[in-house]
Amino acid sequence: MTSVFAKSKHGLGPYVEGALADGLPVIRGKWYGVDPGGAYIATGPREMGLEGIYPDLKSAYGVCTSGAGDGIVFLSGSVASTTYSSEVQAPFAWSKWNISVVGVAAGGYNSRARVVSHSALTSAVSLTVAVTANTITRAANSFITDGWKVGMTGVFDTSGTNSNKTFTVTAVSALVLTGTVDTDTLANATATHTLCGYFPYLIDISGSNNRFYDMYFINEASHVLNVGAIAISGNRNKFVDCHFNTVGTLQSAAAGQYDLRVSSSECQFVRCWIGNNNVARSGAANGNLNLGLSTTQIGQDYFEDCYILSKSATSTHGAIKVIDAATLGGWVVFKRCVFLNWDSGNVTAGNVLQIGATPNNCGILLDPGCAWVGYAALSANEDRVFTAGPAGAAGTGGLALPN
């Protein structure tokens, strides 16, 4: 009989290995676990064949060694959100190299191996800011009940003296938040405000050579500054059966909103989902997939069998947004990808698939297997989005001519 402590060729015990019908990627280093529900933490990592089991993804990432080839298994449940959601309390940088992350879940759209912004919301309450004491005080109810925790980054709403100013929480009581000022200087004031978590993104993957399988990244914190789910600034990262999604209503009209931002080169996305068709984008030139961040050039990024979803009746929204004319120093290729834009049960014909700057070097290539619905044209620029075969169905039901 095989011992429960025996490890397979992947370095895992049979309990974890058996949970993954498709097997695990081979890694060079050690395996760690994430168990948001806590059921397996008491079991002990040795019996699971893991070096350690942690309650959230950031904690497991913290013990991995950059470049060692370590792996993280996300042990998702499927009944309650507490068993399949790893909350992020503040945006963080994934600067390490060569880490493999595998979700024990079905993967794809709305996967239950879920990384989500922590929910904290203090809504329309009179708050007193005391700069010297670094405190935000209320007269009744509770910051604890509202979900605030030490380590969180918060942001004021868009009104008053402290509009859009951010802070990091160092102590929490029912009536007092104590914190440190982040990018702005708070002002002494008493006014009615709404506070929520500050998540311009969940994770900025600045390291290279990382792999992610069957993971769902969703930013649910509603604020005009909480514009994205995942930002990728490191090169040669790979994502398979993952979903990237930003769903807050307040940022839906922000020009900077995205579900996935790629400002790096040689990244690969296979069978991934980008965006959703539930929350409407309105009134701003934003994209589901943003390419670039500045004039720094990117290229050789590859999307295969991916779905880019949106819900928009405005002509300003696009599936892909190119940030700067100098962004595309190489090609971005889409193979057998589907672009769907749907609003209130009606196809929208006013949108173009690619918005933003006109690239002055390389461009975007859609192979013959790509299709699009709800877009009247590939690009307003008409010169840097190419298709190698028949075009997809446009919003009017006819054919959009290839550029």
List the beta strands (DSSP E) in 30-185: 31-34, 53-54, 71-74, 85-88, 92-94, 100-103, 114-117, 121-130, 135-137, 153-156, 166-172, 176-181
Q: What is the DSSP letter of 48?
A: H
For residue 137, the model assigns a pLDDT of 93
For residue 252, the model assigns a pLDDT of 74
Question: Which one, of 392, 385, 393, lies nearest residue 355 by Cα?
Answer: 385
CA atoms within 13 A on the CB side of 399: 8
Stated as kind and residue range, the H or E segment containing 15 is helix 14-19
For residue 388, the model assigns a pLDDT of 66
Q: Name the pairing type of β-strands 287-291 and 260-262.
A: parallel
Tens-level pLDDT at each residue, the chain (403 residues): 333 334 444 445 554 555 444 567 889 999 999 998 887 776 677 667 788 999 999 999 999 999 999 999 998 876 777 788 999 999 999 999 999 999 988 888 888 899 999 988 998 999 999 888 889 999 999 999 999 999 999 999 888 888 888 989 999 999 999 988 665 677 888 999 899 889 999 999 999 999 999 999 999 888 888 889 999 999 999 999 999 999 877 777 777 889 999 999 999 999 999 999 888 887 678 899 999 988 889 999 999 999 999 988 777 888 999 999 999 999 999 999 999 988 765 555 567 889 888 888 888 999 989 998 888 888 876 567 887 655 544 443 333 344 4
Q: Name the pairing type of β-strands 371-373 and 338-343.
A: parallel
Q: Report the distance separating Cα 298 and Cα 362, nearest Å.
A: 10
Question: Which one, of 45, 111, 100, 108, lies nearest residue 76 by Cα?
Answer: 111
Q: Report the distance separating Cα 369 and Cα 337, nearest Å.
A: 7
For residue 1, the model assigns a pLDDT of 32
For residue 394, the model assigns a pLDDT of 45
Q: What is the DSSP letter of 399?
A: B
Question: Which one, of 308, 252, 304, lies nearest residue 282 by Cα?
Answer: 252
Question: Which one, of 346, 297, 339, 304, lies nearest residue 320 by Cα?
Answer: 339
Contacts of 149 (CB under 8 A, 6+ apart): 89, 118, 120, 169, 172
Q: Write out 278-319 in H/E/C secondary structure.
A: CCCECCCCCEEEEECCCCCCECCEEEECCEEEECECCCCCEE
Instruction: State the virtual CA torsion across 364, 370, 371, 372 in degrees, nearest 10.
Output: -20
Residues 263 and 235 sit within 8 Å (Cβ to Cβ): no
Stated as kind and residue range, the H or E segment containing 17 is helix 14-19
Q: What is the DSSP letter of 393?
A: B
For residue 147, the model assigns a pLDDT of 92
Question: Which one, of 200, 156, 152, 146, lies nearest residue 178 by Cα?
Answer: 152
10 Å CB burial of residue 315 (0-12, 13-18, 19+) is middle
**Rg, C-alpha atoms of the chain:** 22
Report residue 281 CA to chain centroid gap. 17
Contacts of 384 (CB under 8 A, 6+ apart): 322, 328, 354, 358, 359, 362, 363, 364, 403
For residue 232, the model assigns a pLDDT of 97
